[in-house]
Structure 1
């Protein structure tokens, strides 16, 4: 029989190894909690997740014109709403269209002129309409391109600061849109917010210390061209010291600070003082991986103007982004007030900041930033190293102290206990990860991807519940082994809490060493678990029956709510994006792994408590049963992801080009001419979901032969980004389109600069949107061009080098001159290169549709967002 060991404080129920580890059914029963407690705790956590979501959606009360007498310096939503209604009533404003180049520009000129009339006499406002042409290489991931532009327009306003300041703060947003979208949140709301801020500042009796430049740019959606034209060529560009960039990737909600780049920390210190701060560096690190199918002007100002600053975007309800539903009616009044309050306050703070005199004087750092309960936390990467290291050390010390308090100390038995417990948790995590991958792959193979697209709660059933179940299973197996070692469940549970805390502590240290700023997501639960354990031992509660459990759960409220808030935000941003990442990616894996990762981190706080549960196997059985029900829902019609309800649309996206194609041989004689509908499928389920409804898909022709024999499959490009999805597109033969804006391409001159260098000069005119693909023959090398200073990175298509030029015209179409120099072998007489050119008619006024095209478009269901274009594609050989 095992000898009972007691301490001097036995009367206070403080016992050491002997009693704690004695197999005593009565004492275990005291510490056990009913099976129903575990179910209620899970329900409570899911309810808390819903409450956090509702709380995060709260918006400030919008101010009206009548409120202005009580809040004379405040942002007024009423006026911004009025302006946005006028702007969106113009319809879609595609660069090069009448709506964008004439009507929208006139709107801003008129409103700014009125602001000038209403301004105080001490304020000075200048306006400049910039028409600019240029070119640059934009290294989009995974495929870059030369972006050229002619006569695109910017409306630029300068509110002068005091004492003839030579330093300026830049506020930027764009008024152009993608085809078919009125651009309510992307980015009309930001433009009218800037107008209202200009009104407020111009009516102030005080002038800011520095100038504020408002850039209303007219060509962002076409590859960030307008910002490039401004920062590289405008007369005020050199005086800009700091940037506030405003974007939209959703519709309404709250704007999110999601990017700072290499930031000067003082900018974020000012941002902490705005009324509604909101931001997560987690979003910045995801965005900068290049996996998000979007980019912003922030990149251009940073790369071409060496301007640092902060980047905001609306991210809620991304289903409306770049669709006809991104309209005026669906933006809550509180969204105007939220961004208006924040940007107006920040503009005043930065406009008066002494740091603006010479921002380069201040050391630049990558910065950790996040908001929690309305507070904005920020610290540099170096400070993060110190903070994370201190918390890690504290975590380890508290664990060692706790083991001594439990009477374990540093012994072979405690080492074995830690090792076995760690192995159990790691096994559970691995099992959960494997289960996630299998589930995602299974659903994808059965063509049931995206069941959670319009019902985000489906992710909880498909990936959260089995993750929790797998982790609990490994702990239950561990506890069955521990029963043989006569371990008391009370101590078992607390030991497991310490061990899982240690595992995340090591993950925190590794992430810190790798300079991953997002490890603050791990730091928060490690910190509060450590504090909880410290409190338990300081208050002598570790052997109490229920008190330690209550204290522990209360301490977890803050990290739980914090992680739920970040998970909810990540889901609301990324889930709609899964509808436009292309059919080559499996969204089940993307969202499954993300949900698994957050669930793992969050559930680690609670899984050790399964040790206290009587008959814990029942909990696991229920979790797996509910998971199976969710799988059945995903496989059934109930899991269909799309709907066309205008109040809450979840749309499947298609871009369609009615295309005429002409192919020429080495002697430039036409050898093939055809036409058809080129359908870009933007998600994993396309076009299978519409095949039974859109009968023309039965006429689909494989594009494999076109892709093998032609540059980029002989299809028109709207962006270099679609190269990765072009082989997954659809080609349906059709009659010739009606195209009035034809390509006019001719060689102006050919020069033999030396025995091995040939120069070709061309002139190109056509629609306002064109793309050119150049591919040297095997014996030729492109060594120079007149568009950008250096030959850009080479793309490879079917083992051939290709270079892409994307051209956009704005206020007027002017000829694009292209000069190309090639290195060839001496006395070479064969062809030097192939060139393919497409012209795209994307404006409603030029997008004339044949009856066949109209019938094809009308056959799509209401839940399909179809953006129609006309295009021509032609090839030449020189």
Structure 2
């Protein structure tokens, strides 16, 4: 039985790569387990000294909310090897930049990781499951650490049972509280239930309003060219998005209480009613998420659990009938989940904020942060914000929240809101000095040019337009996408990628080359090409069927064909010690059986990612023109298209 623990250190690499981590030190977070091997988490819990793990991180990663990958996937998907995947997430600002050096890696992180992994390897090496792990493949797990002190772990089936019991208990206790409120106030239960429906509707509207406001602000910040204003000063997120959400969450109930102030129930009872409705809403969401198979529903369940505990205490002590005294048990029972969610969300924000600097230009980072702030604010303060209505100046406090938002919006427009700093938080660009050659069906060169292919890693490409040489003549790549395979580029095209004409690059001796070894017609409608690819250590092959041809089979992994991926298909080839040419075959089908027209177009990209000696003086001058807060990753590249 093979077993895999993936624990990368922080590599100092450049050029195209598969991310193995996303930070430089800190604690290693366990974010993938198994899959379907709960015994791994049992041994992790027994052995680990300083746990740091999250089911939510696993679900976000495996559902592609994090546009990255690790070597763990190859072992998991293609080797059926179970394991544990861990990564460093702290200080992601320096990851894969010029500042990513061994000497800045915290020595304490080595000790922390060593303590954990040594104990974990010893534990797994001596566990009985290691002999034949297939016998113990029993489904998914739910796991999370509590403040790094200990690990909570249970199976998915146990999680479903726990979520259902807590949710139904929460709804039942709230229902009992409604009945007690009816008895204590002398109002008929039917009228209390009618108020419950009104209050539940108010709470739902308040959550919607609270969510819409930060989303609109995120769209506004992007529209006025102010995204990532919190990239360096992350405290701006609190003022821009959290307080906006809290304002929306509070203002709707405030207006409701204002226009129904003559209600027979005192304000303390009405706020309790609001809190009960919030608990019911959480319980219903927990049940829905559980039915949908979302393991991260445990966070909603925990919120319901602690509120229900506080409510039980209030009912048992009869404090629920008091105007203010009920707040004490409520706050006491709200503190533990608040602290846990704050700890939980701190890990997410410290991980994601630096990552937004390399998520690409297609993602609006402020919109993503707004959504993340809504989720965190809903968990942390959903049971706290309604308590504000007990204060005599509650409306002033609520309006003060919006005042904080406006103040932070003004700050975001000042130099404080400029995202980048030269020594720490840099802006990232990939810059490829590229030669492009296009051939026609007779293999004659029909077009040849050289230039700088610039790929921005975030939305703010316009910050360098006045500094970089020849940026005023930069062209959007999009026009080539209608007539050239993969837009005529050696990497996947990005919408805001730029092309600046430049002198020809200096390329290595091993130029990419494809040779057709044989061409066989397998039937009247099917043909097979056998080919050989050679070249530098990093190459990309794009495959585009032409004139009604369809790719039916090939040497490579069959998933893209089975899942009907849209061509051009991308094959990424890297080699280390073994530089033998890659031999492969392609089978294409034409339903018409007409093989007189062209059948196939190949785009071949070559990358010299570790050859600083190939940086020409012109290229170096161009790179030096970038502002000092930019980290430009340069390498020479080539692209060639051939038609068959």
Q: TM-score, normalised by structure 1?
A: 0.70
Correspondence 1:478 to 2:259: no
**Any idea what the Cα deviations from partners look like across 1:380-402, whole Å, max 9, x if unmatched?**
11111111111112212222222
Alignment check: 8 A CA contact 1:678 1:731 kept: yes
| Aligned match of 1:429 | 207
| Aligned match of 2:439 | 664
Correspondence 1:808 to 2:581: no
Correspondence 1:873 to 2:642: no
Distance 1:573 1:353 in 2: 33
Distance apart, 1:812 and its partner CA:
4.1
**Any idea what the Cα deviations from partners look like across 1:776-830, whole Å, max 9, x if unmatched?**
212323333334568735543xxxx422222112114222223333334445322
Distance 2:417 2:536 in 1: 42
Alignment check: 8 A CA contact 1:834 1:877 kept: yes
Alignment check: 8 A CA contact 1:784 1:790 kept: no
Distance 1:750 1:331 in 2: 53
Distance apart, 1:749 and its partner CA:
3.0
**Any idea what the Cα deviations from partners look like across 1:817-849, whole Å, max 9, x if unmatched?**
23333334445322221111111111135x512
Correspondence 1:708 to 2:482: yes
| Aligned match of 2:500 | 732
**Any idea what the Cα deviations from partners look like across 1:389-444, whole Å, max 9, x if unmatched?**
11112212222222233334872211121111112111111111111121011110
Q: 2:363 aligns with which of 585, 608, 616?
A: 585
Correspondence 1:699 to 2:495: no
**Aligned in 2, Cα 1:764/1:407: closer, same or farther, shift over 3 Å?**
closer
Distance 1:714 1:301 in 2: 33
| Aligned match of 1:270 | 43
Alignment check: 8 A CA contact 1:180 1:324 kept: no
The two structures, once aligned, show a CA RMSD in angstroms of: 2.1
What stretches of structure 1 of length at least 5 have no aligned partner?
Answer: 1-166, 182-220, 225-246
Distance 2:449 2:330 in 1: 71
**Any idea what the Cα deviations from partners look like across 1:721-757, whole Å, max 9, x if unmatched?**
x44x2x3211111010111332333333333444433
Alignment coverage as a number of residue pairs: 636
| Aligned match of 1:457 | 235
Distance 1:410 1:871 in 2: 78
Distance 1:514 1:782 in 2: 36
Alignment check: 8 A CA contact 1:795 1:803 kept: yes
| Aligned match of 1:352 | 126
Correspondence 1:257 to 2:35: no
| Aligned match of 2:306 | 528
**Aligned in 2, Cα 1:705/1:548: closer, same or farther, shift over 3 Å?**
closer
What stretches of structure 2 of length at least 5 have no aligned partner?
Answer: none
Q: 2:282 aligns with which of 504, 508, 517?
A: 504
**Any idea what the Cα deviations from partners look like across 1:653-689, whole Å, max 9, x if unmatched?**
111110011111121111111100001111111x211
Distance apart, 1:250 and its partner CA:
0.6
Q: 1:331 aligns with which of 105, 117, 121?
A: 105
**Aligned in 2, Cα 1:443/1:412: closer, same or farther, shift over 3 Å?**
same
Distance 1:815 1:397 in 2: 69
Distance 1:427 1:168 in 2: 52
| Aligned match of 1:14 | none
Correspondence 1:830 to 2:608: no
Distance 1:259 1:173 in 2: 11
Q: 2:462 aligns with which of 688, 709, 725?
A: 688
Distance 2:406 2:606 in 1: 51
Distance apart, 1:176 and its partner CA:
10
**Aligned in 2, Cα 1:753/1:864: closer, same or farther, shift over 3 Å?**
same
Alignment check: 8 A CA contact 1:492 1:611 kept: no
Which protein has the larger Cα radius of gyration, Structure 1 or Structure 2?
A: 1
| SS of alignment partner, residue 182 of structure 2 | coil
**Aligned in 2, Cα 1:782/1:552: closer, same or farther, shift over 3 Å?**
closer
**Any idea what the Cα deviations from partners look like across 1:344-363, whole Å, max 9, x if unmatched?**
11111111111222222225
Distance 1:436 1:537 in 2: 36
Q: Superposition pairs for residues 466-865 of structure 1, below 5 Å?
A: 466-544=244-322, 546-645=324-423, 649-685=424-460, 687-717=461-491, 722-723=492-493, 725=494, 727-741=495-509, 742-788=511-557, 792=561, 793-796=563-566, 801-824=567-590, 825-826=592-593, 828-845=595-612, 847-865=613-631
Alignment check: 8 A CA contact 1:658 1:676 kept: yes
**Aligned in 2, Cα 1:488/1:275: closer, same or farther, shift over 3 Å?**
same
Alignment check: 8 A CA contact 1:785 1:791 kept: no
Distance 1:359 1:475 in 2: 54
Q: 1:370 aligns with which of 144, 149, 157?
A: 144
| SS of alignment partner, residue 357 of structure 2 | coil
Distance 1:530 1:465 in 2: 26
Alignment check: 8 A CA contact 2:182 2:192 kept: no
Alignment check: 8 A CA contact 2:7 2:87 kept: no
| Aligned match of 1:115 | none
Alignment check: 8 A CA contact 2:476 2:496 kept: no
**Aligned in 2, Cα 1:766/1:328: closer, same or farther, shift over 3 Å?**
same
**Aligned in 2, Cα 1:599/1:826: closer, same or farther, shift over 3 Å?**
closer
**Aligned in 2, Cα 1:417/1:841: closer, same or farther, shift over 3 Å?**
same
**Aligned in 2, Cα 1:410/1:325: closer, same or farther, shift over 3 Å?**
farther
Distance 2:219 2:176 in 1: 45
Alignment check: 8 A CA contact 1:784 1:791 kept: no
Distance 2:373 2:309 in 1: 27
Distance 1:312 1:170 in 2: 11
Distance 1:682 1:424 in 2: 42
Name the stretch that deviates more: 171-180 or 358-367: 171-180
Q: Superposition pairs for residues 182-197 of structure 1, below 5 Å?
A: none
Distance apart, 1:583 and its partner CA:
0.5
Distance 1:677 1:304 in 2: 37
Distance apart, 1:595 and its partner CA:
0.3
**Any idea what the Cα deviations from partners look like across 1:299-353, whole Å, max 9, x if unmatched?**
1111122121221111111112222322222222221111111111111111111
Distance 1:777 1:767 in 2: 27
Q: 2:72 aligns with which of 298, 306, 309?
A: 298
| SS of alignment partner, residue 320 of structure 1 | coil
Alignment check: 8 A CA contact 2:8 2:86 kept: no
Q: TM-score, normalised by structure 2?
A: 0.94
Distance 1:169 1:266 in 2: 12
Distance apart, 1:257 and its partner CA:
0.9
**Aligned in 2, Cα 1:815/1:410: closer, same or farther, shift over 3 Å?**
farther
Distance 1:631 1:788 in 2: 49
Distance 1:404 1:176 in 2: 58
**Aligned in 2, Cα 1:491/1:357: closer, same or farther, shift over 3 Å?**
same
Q: Superposition pairs for residues 8-23 of structure 1, below 5 Å?
A: none
| SS of alignment partner, residue 480 of structure 1 | helix
Distance 1:481 1:174 in 2: 59
Name the stretch that deviates more: 458-467 or 355-364: 355-364
Alignment check: 8 A CA contact 1:835 1:875 kept: yes
